[in-house]
Chains A and B, each alone.
Chain A
Amino acid sequence: MKVTRVMIVAVGGQGNLLAAKVLGEAALLAGIEVRMSEIHGMAQRGGVVESAIVFGGARSSLIADGEADILAGFEPLETLRAVAKCNKNTVVITSTAPLPPFAAAVGKVAYPDFSSVQKQILNVAGSLTAFDAAELAREAGNVMAVNMVILGAMAATRRLPVSEEHIRETIRLKTRQNFVETNLKAFELGLSQKS
């Protein structure tokens, strides 16, 4: 089966690892080979969290520069920081809601404006779907559901080897029971994003 490489980047606390886990569990449910790796050093201290999900027969669970099929970022600066993972066929999804690092939040360094982020991403990648995932998560009923919104947008690309239904089923089975409804709603809102 064709190998599909998905990279997810976020700021610690945004729920990146749960998004990756849902994709992994959905693959297990669908009987698709999957390997994942994560770097979450000091996530609770506001650092960057990266997850790589590799579907298909590859043995490596790492994604090298230029080799992601999908790059999904929960925060525009972090999406841009990971753009080296992209090539001309990479589909990029990003939330436009910024979470400025401290130095930028207090005005010591400039946070790049979105048009520049967009331009730099499109210099490297094939396409970009950008929207305010935090707003959609709020609309779904929980601002913490950004991860589910982005999952929906990933499914909308039709580049994932797992089906929407497998993802929905995984959300039902593997996310916290009292959040399932909100999570599913957030997923659907993400799914309706045009890519």
Chain B
Amino acid sequence: MHKLLTDEPGKKMLLLGNEAIARGAIEAGVAITAAYPGTPSSEISLNFFQMSQESDLYFEYSVNEKVSLEVTAAAANTGVRAMCVMKHVGMNVAADALVTLAYVGVRGGLVILVADDPFMFSSQNEQDSRYYAKLAGLPMLEPSSVAEAKEMTRQAFDLSEQLQEPVILRTTTRVNHSTDVVELGPISKAETRGTFSRNPMRYVTIPAVSRQLHVRLLDNLDKAMAVAEQSPFNFSEGSGPGGIICNGVSYNYVADAVQDLNLDGQVKILRLGFTHPLPEQLIKDFLGGCDKVLIVEEGEPVLEEGIKALAQEAKMTMTISGKDQALFSRLYEFDPALVREKIAFYFMGADTTATSSPARPGQAGLPPRPPTLCAGCSHRAAFHAVKKAAEGLDVIYPTDIGCYTLGMLPPLGMADFLICMGSSTGTAAGFSRTLDKKVIAFCGDSTFFHSAMAGLVNAVFNRHNFTLVILDNGTTAMTGHQPNPGVDMEKLGLSGYGRIDIAEVVKALGVPHMAVIEPYKLKKSIATLKEAFAFEGVSVVIARELCALYAKSLKIPAMKPFYVSDRCRNHKDCIDQLGCPAFFIKDGRVAIDPDRCTGCAVCAQVCPENAILPIKIKASPGDKI
């Protein structure tokens, strides 16, 4: 049985934040779940996916975040409990659905989890998703710890039903990827069948309906504020003339700092966990007992702006500080020492210059260890083929989001522009209109279905001029091999799924030139790519080869690894052009680690001396391995 389905209330388990969130939803009796994978939220959907195979829970990997929200929004409007999960930038994709869904509301509880990534450990920006609660007018909860994340998830469903609105549960990487001891609660049985009474004047958002629904939303916001005023997720502790208001993981750093600095009796803390709408009276009451206030929040000054406005309303004149040159930055994430230092500075006048060392020891001159495309990665083969086929052309390479984004690093250097999921095709169109360059764009299979497909439709219609290379490795590799509509689910032993062939889609979209390559076959691939690059208009080349890691996990028999034979003249083209991590230099000679080599044979085709050969099962005595 899946560990998160353990029905032993009171049992203590060590859980990752994302597991705790999934467990909270199970305890609440969630019936319908959907997600597009995205770090740092990915393990929530993975656990839903696994649990759906051994319980009543429905989970789907939706094609993108907007669709996942629509699926769960409709389910919640039939009265069942639903949850959708996304990373912060996924909320941008889902935002169109989100804002009007707030007007319509829900009947069954709907929890929308959005995972922010301060410092951008694995994201293209560090936007603060709390603004979405303001934008849409929806209640928002923010846990500080893993145990609280489970509890908030569970209660968010009740809150959603009480207010008849979706609830946004906002986390940051340090909650999602922290581990804590969590006490299990009872599991509620999920209601999996819903009902829907036809009422277009309530559910069909034409202007006349929406004018009424906006009134409803504002009423609900007032109700939400009344709940926030009483919510146990907003609490204060300690006493003193100084005040700190904080949210999320910052609260942990604040609580530790107040203790470490012996500020008991001098500083009190207001921890806000129900952060939108702000509990106005609670905050005013807290401010009333303070002579100066520090707001500790990662990201944007969301609390700070709200609290300063409240103080103005209440004609309070104490100093309220937060984002400031001498205090907190909007950049990156906080840590316990930083928060302690700023609290000491703000409340004790401590000089902070001594403690913040100018240079971190042990960093200068160390060889970096960037993530790289795996040994035998089919993307490396495709990039090399594209580079060879484009020799002599002046090229710009708009790319997209996936493992292949790592192709920007040397020696491949195959990425010139990237803004978001699916942007390969749209940006390729723009570049082709203003540059006298050949435009060659890259996207992956999952990214194609997520949103790059729309840009391709646009390109066919508007007669743009570029080549799109779809790097189809048969899985959503970067986030941990989740399925996408192009994946053969039978291979995973799962039935009940359809499968969409990307080549058929491309043909059906009317792309005038399309070809499929097997990127490990370099010569043929290069010839096919050259034809596509020479084509005036939209051309698509699908590079089809399974992700090497995924193939391994599917237990597809491995090919024989290769070795560098005596014929090697040390040109090092293999290293300089491909940079496959299976290579290393030993005693000045190129060598291949047979444990890492997947036998893709791409380097063997690049070697000018044909010196790279497959290891024979029984090596003959003369062979150097």
Contact = CB atoms under 8 A, between A and B. Distances in A.
Nearest to B121: A41
A191 interface: no
A42 interface: yes
B368 A101 contact: yes
Contacts of B579: 102, 106
A11 B371 CA distance: 10
Given A37-B179, A45-B374, A81-B362, A64 B335 contact: yes
Interface in A29-84: 33-42, 44-48, 58-67, 77-78, 80-84
A36 B179 contact: yes
B372 A45 contact: yes
B465 to A, nearest CB: 34
Nearest to B254: A59
A45 B371 contact: yes
Contacts of A105: 581, 583-585
A121 interface: yes
A7 to B, nearest CB: 12
Given A25-B14, A39-B121, A40-B177, A84 B363 contact: yes
Given A81-B366, A101-B368, A59 B12 contact: no
A24 B361 CA distance: 29
Nearest to A67: B337
B180 A106 contact: no
A155 B173 CA distance: 29
Nearest to A101: B369
Interface in B366-409: 366-374, 403, 406
A40 B121 CA distance: 9
Given A81-B362, A81-B363, A100-B584, A45 B406 contact: yes
B371 A24 contact: no
Contact of B174 (A42, A61, A77, A83): A61
Contact of A59 (B256, B370, B403, B581): B256
Chain A contact residues (Cβ within 8 angstroms of B): what range? 35 or more
A121 B361 CA distance: 9
A-B pairs with lowest CB-CB distance, top 7: A64-B337, A83-B362, A45-B371, A42-B371, A59-B252, A47-B371, A105-B584
Interface in A91-118: 100-107, 109-112
Interface of B: 12, 14, 39, 121-122, 144-146, 173-174, 177-181, 249, 251-253, 255-256, 335-338, 357, 360-363, 366-374, 403, 406, 478, 549, 572, 575, 579, 581, 583-585, 590
Nearest to A112: B366
A77 B406 CA distance: 22
Given A24-B179, A42-B478, A59-B255, 14 more contacts: A35-B146, A37-B179, A39-B177, A41-B371, A59-B145, A60-B335, A63-B336, A65-B360, A66-B337, A83-B362, A84-B360, A84-B361, A100-B584, A101-B369
B104 to A, nearest CB: 37
B151 to A, nearest CB: 16
A65 B39 CA distance: 25
B122 A38 contact: no
A124 interface: yes
Given A38-B179, A84-B360, A104 B174 contact: no
A172 interface: no
B179 A11 contact: no
A21 to B, nearest CB: 7
Contacts of B121: 39, 41
A60 B585 CA distance: 43
Contacts of A104: 367
Nearest to B356: A65
A41 B374 contact: no
17 contacts: A24-B14, A34-B14, A36-B178, A37-B179, A38-B179, A44-B374, A47-B371, A59-B256, A62-B335, A65-B335, A84-B360, A100-B367, A100-B584, A101-B369, A102-B583, A106-B590, A123-B361
Contacts of B336: 58, 60, 62-64, 67
A106 B374 CA distance: 16
Given A21-B14, A24-B14, A38-B179, A46 B581 contact: yes
Given A60-B253, A106-B584, A120 B369 contact: no
Contacts of B581: 46, 102, 105
A105 B581 CA distance: 9
Contacts of B255: 59
Contacts of B360: 65, 84
Contacts of A78: 369
A61 B252 contact: yes
A36 B180 CA distance: 6
Contacts of B144: 59
Contact of B361 (A25, A60, A67, A120): A120
Interface in A5-30: 11-12, 20-21, 24-25, 28
Contacts of A28: 12, 14, 181
Interface centre among B12, B121, B252 (most CB of A within 10 A): B252
B147 to A, nearest CB: 10
A113 to B, nearest CB: 12
B369 A11 contact: yes
B372 A62 contact: no
Nearest to A75: B369
A20 B575 CA distance: 35
A59 B372 contact: no
Contacts of A42: 122, 371, 478
Contact of B178 (A37, A48, A124): A37
Interface centre among B371, B374, B583 (most CB of A within 10 A): B371
